[in-house]
C-alpha cells in the first residue's frame, strides 16, 4: 500500500480512543474533587513569630493551595524578605504538604510539613518544620512546631503558640496570640512574643489588618535590631 492510499480521511479528527476518553474523564473528576484557593497581601512589615523578616520594610506576599476531599493538601506561599547584605536573601518560598479536617463538631486539626526556602541567599538557609494546629470552634487554637534544624541553625527548636479571635461584627474581629520559641544551642533557651490585631473585612475578598507585636528581651539578644515592639499594617485578600 502506498502512503497516498492510507485511509486517514475515514478517521474524523475529533475521534478519541476509549482509553484516552477514560483518562480525560478521570482527570476531570479529579480536578472537580480538588479545591483551589489562594491569598495575596501587601504589608508594611513582614513579622514572623515576633521577628521582622523584612527589617521593618514593606513586603509583598502570595500563596496558593490545592486541597482534596480526603483532607490532604499541598500549598506554596512566598514573600519578599530583606536580610543582611552578606546573606543576600531577598525572597522566601514555603512549601507545605499536610492534612486538615474536623475531629468533631467543635474540634479541628491541621498537621503539615513546611519547608522554608530562600532561593537568592548566599548561604544555606533552607530548613523544614513539622507543625500541628488544634482549633476549637474556629475561635481558639494551639500551634506546636518542631524542627531538628530550626532556622537552619543545626540545632533543634520547638515553637508553641496559643491564639484566639473574637468577632465584633460581620466585618470586624480581634485576634490575639502569644508564643514561645525554644531554641537549643542559643545563648538563651529561647524567647517569647505576643501580638494583638484588628481585622476589618471592608469589602470581600479584601481585609485590612492592623497588628501590634512585642517580644521579650531574650529575643532582642538573639535577634539584634529585628525584635522588640512594632506595628504592622497589611492589606490582604483571599480567593
Residues 6-28: tens digit of each pLDDT: 333 333 444 456 665 555 555 45
Would you state the pLDDT for residue 32? 64
Bridge pairing between strands 35-43 and 140-147: unpaired
pLDDT classification of 31: cutoffs 50, 70, 90: low
**CA dihedral of residues 96, 102, 108, 111 (deg, nearest 10):** -30
pLDDT in tens, 74-126: 999 999 999 999 999 999 999 999 999 999 999 999 999 999 999 999 999 99
DSSP 41-80: EEESS-EETTEESSTTS-EEEEEEEEE-TTSEEEEEEEEE
pTM greater than 0.95 (yes/no)? no
10 Å Cβ neighbour count for 60? 14
pLDDT digits (tens, 9 = 90+) for 132-189: 999 999 999 999 999 999 999 999 999 999 999 999 999 999 999 999 999 998 777 8
Q: How confident is the model at residue 4 (pLDDT cuts 50, 70, 90)?
A: very low
- Third-level CATH fold of 35-238: Porin (2.40.160)
Sign of CA dihedral 108, 113, 119, 123: positive
Amino acid at each position: 500500500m502506498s502512503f497516498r492510499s492510507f485511509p486517514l480521511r475515514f478517521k474524523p479528527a475529533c475521534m478519541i480512543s476509549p482509553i484516552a476518553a477514560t483518562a480525560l474523564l478521570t482527570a476531570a473528576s479529579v480536578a472537580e474533587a480538588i479545591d483551589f484557593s489562594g491569598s495575596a497581601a501587601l504589608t508594611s512589615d513582614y513579622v514572623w513569630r515576633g521577628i521582622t523578616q523584612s527589617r521593618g520594610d514593606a513586603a509583598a506576599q502570595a500563596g496558593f493551595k490545592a486541597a482534596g476531599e480526603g483532607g490532604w493538601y499541598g500549598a506554596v506561599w512566598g514573600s519578599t524578605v530583606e536580610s543582611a547584605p552578606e546573606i543576600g536573601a531577598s525572597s522566601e518560598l514555603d512549601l507545605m504538604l499536610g492534612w486538615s479536617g474536623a475531629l468533631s463538631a467543635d474540634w479541628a486539626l491541621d498537621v503539615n510539613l513546611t519547608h522554608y526556602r530562600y532561593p537568592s541567599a548566599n548561604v544555606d538557609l533552607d530548613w523544614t518544620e513539622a507543625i500541628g494546629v488544634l482549633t476549637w470552634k474556629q475561635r481558639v487554637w494551639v500551634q506546636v512546631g518542631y524542627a531538628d534544624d530550626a532556622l537552619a541553625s543545626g540545632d533543634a527548636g520547638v515553637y508553641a503558640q496559643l491564639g484566639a479571635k473574637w468577632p465584633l461584627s460581620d466585618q470586624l474581629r480581634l485576634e490575639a496570640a502569644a508564643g514561645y520559641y525554644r531554641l537549643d544551642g542559643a545563648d538563651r533557651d529561647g524567647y517569647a512574643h505576643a501580638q494583638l490585631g484588628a481585622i476589618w473585612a471592608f469589602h470581600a475578598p479584601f481585609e485590612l489588618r492592623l497588628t501590634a507585636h512585642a517580644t521579650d528581651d531574650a529575643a532582642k539578644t538573639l535577634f539584634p535590631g529585628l525584635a522588640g515592639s512594632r506595628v504592622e499594617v497589611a492589606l490582604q485578600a483571599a480567593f
